[in-house]
Amino acid sequence: MQVMIKSNGVDRGPDKDIPGSPLRYERQCIMVFMRKYYVYILTNKRNGTLYVGMAGKLGKRVVRHKDGGGSKFVQKYKTHRLVYFEKVTNYIEARKRERQLKWWKRKWKLALIEQTNPECKDLSKEILDPG
């Protein structure tokens, strides 16, 4: 037997779109895990301090770092220059890749940056103004 629930005068199926319902929460979790994510590296200058991070909305995250928000590490070392980023298919893969890069040796990270961005230019301009 299927029970119809009336919420705000609208008939809804069981647990469908009811705030706090388990099915709604499950759908939200699935959406978060299936969304595209970015793994990125920030620096303060060429061959300077490196910061590895992960974000769902890279443009917003870079702006937040540049405005002094985000991580205490970024604030302390002023690593505001985006020198590397890669798109990852979901949250779990992004988290794995971020952890992998964080454990890499410094020279491996610098080689990765050198491969994709030999001039070590700030890529945030491309992200924020793609036109």
**Residue closest to 5 by CA, chosen among 24, 14, 20:** 14
Residues 74-88 as b/e (b if ≥16 CB within 10 A, e otherwise) read beebbbbbbbbbeeb
Residue percentage of the chain with pLDDT more than 70: 73
**Do residues 97 and 73 both lie within one domain?**
yes
Per DSSP bridges, beta strands 50-55 and 5-7 are unpaired
Per the structure, the count of domains in the chain is 2
**Do residues 56 and 119 both lie within one domain?**
yes
**Do residues 16 and 42 both lie within one domain?**
no
pLDDT in tens, 68-120: 888 899 999 999 999 999 999 999 999 999 999 999 999 999 999 999 999 99
| Average pLDDT rounded to a whole number, residues 30-43 | 82
Q: The domain containing residue 13 runs over which residues?
A: 5-34
Which residues have C-beta within 8 Å of that of residue 24, sequence separation ≥ 6?
15, 16, 17, 18
The confidence score (pLDDT) of residue 6 equals 47
The confidence score (pLDDT) of residue 1 equals 47
